[in-house]
């Protein structure tokens, strides 16, 4: 096995946890609620769920099997499967996307770090709702404070990645992910008994398709890609550390299921609070930073609970950031022969620098986020689906797909999704949202 010198997961469970750690992050807790608020509530959620099941899960399997078959980073994987062809550019696009996303991801994770710190030191405990809003605005208007936290977060990410794939990430995910789930459930109890519960649930469960539009549909598709860490090779990379050839349907549904559950739970916590405190559901990126601190002021022992909660969100962001950096580092290690530690610090340092404009100019953060979510991830996912669907022979696909014979019907359905459904869906949605299909 060529895999051992590159590192590998301790087994299937380790892989599922690490992949869930990559998937569950700011995409679920920060992005999903505010995007839902901006794009017609349940209408957005329904398109999102459809995208997860019909496009996300098949593509997740496709990425993992590319990685598992080749045991390579995204660029090396495409090169090995189609030597001398331009397909390796799809891998290169993934590496570039890793730079783009992590650059601003580090800034938003820095906000979470700032909130964790202020919760721990009591700085937010007594604020009124209006004060919460102002205090968030003060943070995003303060480049120095943001860059300082972003730097700290990037150093933590680099330290973990430079130590390799085993042990750290897996172990931490095993302990902290269940804790995050448990915590969200406690918060749910508070939000569902708050004054705005009915309105919040109505907002989340009554679809207003008029507010969605094709741009909102594209946002929901991009959200599914982002939240499942798809379309840029993170799952190719994580799949490359997988050393058995069992079937992937079960793991793919488990990863996607945990990820989706956490996003929905976050929505169920946030929206009742939004209405209880008279906030605007379409408020945008500041949504959780204004609602969540507020709920803690209602609880006994709030400072401690609030600190713990933001620390868990910070940790979820960390396990996602690790997978983003890992894509770039695996590429440098495999293809450039760079040492893991040098690759981590070098790439992490450049990404940190690229993120500074996002901390200084809020418009820059939104722009980078829009490009990644609306174009880079769906575009990358489209190409990966086409590759596995059309450039893998049926036999190769069946072999890579693995699993016991007997789930043949699953194989056919999966292959149909990557060959036809996913590519057509992505292309139609992109063209529609650009207004090119009579949108
Ligand atoms: N899925 C992560 C989240 O929801 C972000 C991510 C995107 C990670 C792409 C890796 C690749 O926060």
CA of 181 to the centre of ligand 1 (A): 18
Task: Give the Cβ contact number of residue 141 at 10 Å.
Answer: 10
Domain ranges of the chain: 7-433
Q: Residues 292-348: pLDDT tens digits?
A: 887 777 666 677 778 888 998 999 999 999 999 999 999 999 999 999 999 999 999
Task: Give the Cβ contact number of residue 390 at 10 Å.
Answer: 12
Q: Which atom of ligand 1 is nearest to the CA of 23?
A: 1
For residues 169 and 29, what is the distance between their CA atoms, to the nearest angstrom? 20
Is the minimum distance from the CB of 23 to ligand 1 under 6 angstroms? yes
Q: Residues 48-91: pLDDT tens digits?
A: 999 999 999 999 999 999 999 999 999 999 999 999 999 999 99
pLDDT at 4 over 50: no
Note the pLDDT of residue 245.
75
For residues 34 and 28, what is the distance between their CA atoms, to the nearest angstrom? 10
Mutate to test the pocket of ligand 1, among 320, 351, 378 (most ligand atoms within 8 A of CB): 320
pTM given for the model? 0.93
| Type and span of the H or E element at 234 | helix 234-239
Is the minimum distance from the CB of 20 to ligand 1 under 6 angstroms? no
Is the minimum distance from the CB of 191 to ligand 1 under 6 angstroms? no
143-162 vs 302-336: helix crossing angle, rounded to 10: 60
Rounded to the nearest angstrom, the gap between the alpha carbon of residue 37 and the centroid of all alpha carbons in its chain is: 18
CB contact at 8 A, 109 and 324: no
Please state which of the four CATH numbers 3.30.930.10, 2.60.40.290, 3.40.50.300, 1.10.4160.10 is assigned to the domain occupying 7-433.
Answer: 1.10.4160.10
CA of 319 to the centre of ligand 1 (A): 9
In the block, tokens 């890992």 appear at 326
Note the pLDDT of residue 2.
38
At 126, the pLDDT band (50, 70, 90 cuts) reads low
Selection from 429, 432, 36 nearest residue 223 by Cα: 36
User: Could you tell me which residues come within 8 angstroms of residue 72 by beta carbon, excluding any fewer than 6 positions away?
Assistant: 79, 80, 240, 334
Q: Is the dihedral of CA 267, 269, 272, 278 positive or negative?
A: negative
CA of 63 to the centre of ligand 1 (A): 14
In the block, tokens 């090396």 appear at 76
Q: How far is CA 316 from CA 24, 30, 370, in A?
A: 6, 11, 22
Q: Residues 166-212: pLDDT tens digits?
A: 656 677 677 778 888 888 898 898 889 989 999 999 999 989 999 89
Q: Residues 233-279: pLDDT tens digits?
A: 999 999 999 887 788 889 999 999 999 999 999 999 999 988 988 88
In the block, tokens 């956490």 appear at 262
CA of 320 to the centre of ligand 1 (A): 5
**End-to-end distance of the chain based on CA atoms, in angstroms?**
50
In the block, tokens 């799809």 appear at 90
């Amino acid at each position: 096995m060529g895999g051992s010198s590159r590192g590998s997961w301790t087994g299937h469970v380790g892989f599922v946890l690490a992949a869930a750690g990559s998937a569950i992050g700011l995409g679920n807790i920060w992005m999903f609620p505010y995007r839902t608020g901006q794009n017609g509530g349940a209408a957005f959620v329904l398109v999102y769920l459809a995208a997860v099941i019909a496009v996300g899960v098949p593509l997740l399997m496709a990425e993992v099997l590319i990685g598992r078959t080749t045991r390579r980073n995204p660029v090396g994987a495409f090169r090995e499967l189609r030597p001398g062809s331009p397909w390796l550019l799809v891998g290169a696009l993934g590496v570039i996307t890793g730079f783009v996303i992590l650059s601003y991801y580090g800034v938003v994770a820095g906000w979470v770090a700032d909130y964790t710190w202020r919760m721990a030191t009591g700085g937010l405990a007594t604020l009124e709702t209006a004060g919460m809003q102002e205090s968030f605005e003060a943070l995003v208007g303060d480049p120095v404070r943001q860059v300082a936290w972003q730097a700290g977060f990037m150093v933590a990410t680099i330290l973990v990645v430079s130590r390799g794939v085993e042990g750290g990430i897996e172990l931490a995910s095993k302990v902290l992910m269940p804790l995050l789930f448990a915590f969200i459930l406690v918060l749910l109890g508070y939000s569902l008994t708050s004054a705005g519960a009915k309105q919040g649930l109505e907002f989340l469960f009554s679809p207003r398709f008029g507010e969605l539009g094709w741009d909102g549909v594209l946002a929901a598709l991009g959200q599914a890609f982002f939240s499942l860490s798809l379309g840029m090779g993170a799952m190719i990379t994580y799949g490359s550390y997988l050393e058995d050839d069992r079937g992937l349907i079960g793991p793919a549904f488990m990863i996607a299921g945990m990820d989706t559950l956490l996003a929905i739970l976050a929505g169920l916590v946030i929206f009742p609070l939004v209405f209880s405190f008279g906030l605007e559901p379409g408020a945008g990126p500041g949504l959780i930073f204004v609602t969540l601190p507020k709920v803690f002021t209602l609880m006994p022992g709030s400072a401690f609970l609030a600190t713990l909660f933001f620390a868990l969100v910070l940790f979820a962001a960390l396990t996602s950031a690790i997978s983003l950096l890992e894509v770039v580092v695996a590429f440098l290690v495999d293809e450039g022969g760079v040492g893991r530690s040098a690759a981590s610090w070098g790439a992490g340092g450049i990404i940190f620098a690229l993120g500074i404009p996002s901390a200084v100019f809020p418009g820059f953060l939104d722009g980078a986020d829009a490009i990644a979510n609306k174009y880079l991830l769906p575009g990358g996912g489209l190409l990966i689906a086409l590759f596995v669907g059309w450039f893998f022979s049926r036999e190769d696909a069946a072999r890579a797909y693995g699993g016991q014979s007997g789930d043949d019907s699953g194989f056919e359905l999966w292959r149909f999704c990557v060959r036809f459904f996913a590519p057509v869906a992505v292309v139609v949605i992109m063209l529609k949202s650009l207004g090119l299909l009579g949108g």
